[in-house]
Structure 1
Amino acid sequence: MIVYTCHGAARGVTGSCHLVQCGSSQVLIDCGMFQGGRDADDANVRGFAFDPRSVDAVLLTHAHLDHCGRLPKLVRDGFTGPVLSTAATRDLARIVLLDAASLQEQEARRAAARGDVNAAPFTTIADAFLAMEAFDGAVGYGETREVAPGIRATFLDAGHILGSASILLELDDGTNRRRMVFSGDLGHHGSGMLRELAPAPEADVVVMETTYGDRPHRDFAATENEFFEAVATTLRRHGNVIVPTFALERAQEILYCLHRGMRSGAIPANTPVFLDSPMAISATEVFRRHPEGLSDAFRALLAREDPFDMPHVRFTRGVDDSMAINTIEGGAIILAGSGMCTGGRVVHHLLHNLDRDRAGVVFVGYAAEGTLARRIIDGQKRVRIGRHDVAVRAHIWTINGFSAHAGQPELLAWLGNSPRRKVLLVHGEPDGGMQVMEQLLRARGISVACPALDAPCRLA
């Protein structure tokens, strides 16, 4: 018997978690955190709908929190098998899991100080370290391994973030054989730092993400030019440029864009740039250690010069160094997390710059409803930052096109035109990308389903 069950990212965009049973073997593809408010918090705390002790192995597609964030809970609840991933994903996951656990411990302490007697972190730093001990070596792209009796896995480049992979499972329960592909998150043709994603191989069943299944992305060259214009315009006004940045991929991509902008003259070459995010700094170091995930052109550039180490770039890990940036009233580019301005050092930089009409805030990523970033993007004239009521006088740019997710044409190109017995759509909005992709595939005569949470689907 071969059975697939979606335990996360079913008719939603976070919490990716997919269980495959083949005979007596069980493997899990990803074990991600749900994100987005109280309901997501409750979902993370609840027990798994399967027994973690019965899972033979976890195959991790990449290191984003919504794909790896519940690994510490899985280990704490009894999982004892290996976690398999690419080497870059292993190194990035360590950064992500430890950072998330640290933030959860801090929030629990704050809640306890407010008198919440039930305050407790979802996962602790100790849990994160235990989860990292489960990582077993590293799997190279194109390498096939038997991960459990009757289950062979091959990791293929997904082009999403450094180390990201799609995974082909070859399943044999002794009576039936199936080939099953999990897309993971697929990449967008952006700055050219990463290798191109590998197309989906022949398979009976495809489990595919649909985050942007309803639209294409803007041309990257136009996106980059708009970014250069926003930065240069602000610098001409002698203001600071604040760029709220996600630590994985986006921070490195923006540094690479700034490198190109300074080389081309679109941005003054002597402009001081601060990467004010310990997590992003650590992730940038991982990029340097894993050239196998980078494009040929970017590796060649690294051999000549390091685009992450321009003469006027400063990496600020220490709190005192971060606070010192706030003494600069204009003429600097400041990259800091978090990307949605829900916490992190960018909040302090906004507090010091948002009310200056010569400053600029450049948003280069998605901002969820209810976040500080979204309130600023939506045009609020005053926002609350901590205990302060701050006027929004800075110029605000929202630049789309930096997404690391494949757009609709790229999703369809990845899937290809070869026959598929069934396509299962996950990781998308049910009334957005998922719905549009379902309609497109049905029009092509492809059998499509959008799995419900925790509902088993027998494949053989």
Structure 2
Amino acid sequence: MRVTFYGATRTTTGSLFLLEVNQQRFLLECGLFQGRRGETIERNRNFPFDPARIDAVILSHAHIDHCGNLPNLCRHGFSGNIYCTFATRDLASIMLEDSAQIQRADAEFVSKKRAKQGLPPVEPLYTATEAEMAVRQFVAINYDRPMPVGDGVTLTFRDAGHILGSAQVVLDIRENGRRFRYLFSGDIGRGNDDILRDPQPVEKVDFLQIEATYGGREHTAKPQSIEMLATLVSETLAQNGKVIIPSFSVGRTQQIVYELHQATLAGRIPKVPIFVDSPLSVNATEIYRLHPECFNDRIYKFLREVANPFGMENLTYIREQAHSMKLNEMKEPAIIISASGMAEAGRIRHHLKNHIGNPANLVLFIGYCAEHTLGAQILAGRSPVNIFGEPHPVRAKVASIDAFSGHADKNELMAYVRRLDGQVKKVAVIHGEESQCLAFAEALRQWRPQAEITVPRQGDTLEV
């Protein structure tokens, strides 16, 4: 058996891993790459293998950097099953359609600029119809239910605690008279989440492929972060300013809504209008309510006995663009949560364009921003920043709270691996910027000095 690393190698985007065993080919993930425009187009349009020769895809969760290129894979000949959890299937169905709409809008925008230069138009990566067709190939499996997915390959999903439906991928392999267990961590949650269950420990692991988004960093302690959130929000609202929160539609939006709900109930922030301005976020929140099997005991009890944890009187979910545009006319203080979390697409760019120049406002990041994204540029202190191709000076206050990240930090990742049972002969560290992967690999060498620890580059192969 061998695994070839085609994405999320010394970076966090474009997860794509080819696993070959018993003359079969499986893909772990098929995500969109995000980065510099030229490289992004090239890597997303062209696969380094023949999609028609892939037997099955195994998907850990529904974030676009993990599932976003599936319609393109199917468009180019892949006809097999796409295995995931039930919640992942439901989330991916709305996220892929939303991604298709973004592809269409971006293609139209670029084509208009090319037309002025006498150049031919560009095509979107895939259409909404092709996204829907891809979802028809999804096969959903519950957690902890072993499922044969090929000759000598049995798949089991274990809860990863990252977003709703997120899973660790456990592969029990029978090859040439030997048996072993390959664990792909997916993205690992922090544990003690407000909404989700903790990552489940996995036993008898022989080979490990693990994410390292925060492999060399520690998050701020949760209680301090909640206090920081209340302080930042209250100070901004007291100045008659607006709080603009770029947020991923799945996971972070639901968590920040829950935190704002609790802070309002406790009187720690004033009761002002709160808007979730993202059709995808609205749809995702509805799917969250449909999957209480993913909730921890506390939120499950709150949902059943107290109230909807994702709703309150002063909270409005916005689908229509016309309603979204009216937010620009508001004079009173408010909180606006909008996708995307890295400010690379979606309505958040319009809110940043309209509000980032006002010193009374606050732009509050609550998740990870990959290199070269608009969010990363704002966090780095760049001013002006280009939004829709035009420079905008950054005068608003900018802050970041990483305790709401869905990714475990270095200490939480080490706690996760220490809970694993088994020999763990080889480890591949992926899904992190190079510095984070290398730092976590070094920590793993201290933990398991007899294991072979690698930080693969794009195209590297690990023999199992």
TM-score, normalised via structure 2 length: 0.93
Aligned 8 A contact 1:240 1:329 in 2:
no
Partner of 2:40: 40
Farther off after superposition, 301-310 or 388-397: 388-397
Of residues 425, 437, 441, the one that matches 2:440 is 437
Aligned 8 A contact 1:199 1:413 in 2:
no
- Distance in 2 of aligned mates of 1:8 and 1:29: 10
Aligned 8 A contact 1:26 1:148 in 2:
no
Partner of 2:239: 237
Q: CA deviation at 1:388?
A: 5.6
- Unpaired runs of 5+ residues, structure 2, are none
Partner of 2:21: 22
Aligned 8 A contact 2:112 2:121 in 1:
no
Partner of 1:13: 12
Percent pairwise identity: 37
Partner of 1:421: 425
Aligned residues: 454
Q: CA deviation at 1:448?
A: 1.0
Tell me the alpha carbon deviations over residues 21-47 of structure 1, each in whole angstroms, 9 at most, x when there is no partner: 221333221111111112232111123
Partner of 2:215: 213
Partner of 1:448: 453
Q: CA deviation at 1:173?
A: 2.4
- Distance in 2 of aligned mates of 1:31 and 1:219: 33
- Distance in 2 of aligned mates of 1:82 and 1:188: 30
Of residues 381, 385, 407, the one that matches 2:409 is 407
For the structure 1 residues 387 and 198, does the alpha-carbon distance in structure 2 shift closer, same or farther, using more than 3 Å as the test? closer
Are 1:117 and 2:120 an aligned pair?
yes
Q: CA deviation at 1:391?
A: 4.1
Tell me the alpha carbon deviations over residues 116-166 of structure 1, each in whole angstroms, 9 at most, x when there is no partner: 415111222222112111012x21111100011211011000011110000
Aligned 8 A contact 2:102 2:346 in 1:
no
- Distance in 2 of aligned mates of 1:343 and 1:52: 27
For the structure 1 residues 387 and 150, does the alpha-carbon distance in structure 2 shift closer, same or farther, using more than 3 Å as the test? closer
Aligned 8 A contact 2:191 2:197 in 1:
no
Tell me the alpha carbon deviations over residues 291-320 of structure 1, each in whole angstroms, 9 at most, x when there is no partner: 111111111111120121101111111111
Aligned 8 A contact 1:30 1:59 in 2:
yes
- Whichever residue aligns with residue 163 of structure 2, its letter is I
Partner of 2:349: 347
- Distance in 2 of aligned mates of 1:202 and 1:387: 52
- Whichever residue aligns with residue 267 of structure 2, its letter is G
- Distance in 1 of aligned mates of 2:6 and 2:149: 20
Farther off after superposition, 336-345 or 368-377: 368-377
Q: Please state whether the residue corresponding to 1:194 is helix, strand or coil.
A: coil
Tell me the alpha carbon deviations over residues 248-273 of structure 1, each in whole angstroms, 9 at most, x when there is no partner: 111111100101101111012x3111
For the structure 1 residues 354 and 73, does the alpha-carbon distance in structure 2 shift closer, same or farther, using more than 3 Å as the test? closer
Tell me the alpha carbon deviations over residues 236-290 of structure 1, each in whole angstroms, 9 at most, x when there is no partner: 112221112111111111100101101111012x311111111111110110011
- Distance in 2 of aligned mates of 1:27 and 1:372: 34
Partner of 2:280: 279
Aligned 8 A contact 1:59 1:83 in 2:
yes
Farther off after superposition, 6-15 or 291-300: 6-15
For the structure 1 residues 189 and 330, does the alpha-carbon distance in structure 2 shift closer, same or farther, using more than 3 Å as the test? farther
- Unpaired runs of 5+ residues, structure 1, are none
> What value does the CA root-mean-square deviation take over the aligned residues?
1.9
For the structure 1 residues 379 and 17, does the alpha-carbon distance in structure 2 shift closer, same or farther, using more than 3 Å as the test? closer
1:24-173 alignment, distance < 5 Å: 24-37=23-36, 38-49=38-49, 51-114=50-113, 115=115, 116-117=119-120, 119-136=122-139, 138-173=140-175
- Whichever residue aligns with residue 427 of structure 1, its letter is H
- Distance in 2 of aligned mates of 1:97 and 1:376: 27
Partner of 1:297: 298
For the structure 1 residues 26 and 47, does the alpha-carbon distance in structure 2 shift closer, same or farther, using more than 3 Å as the test? closer
Q: Please state whether the residue corresponding to 1:12 is helix, strand or coil.
A: coil
- Whichever residue aligns with residue 65 of structure 2, its letter is D
- Whichever residue aligns with residue 429 of structure 2, its letter is L
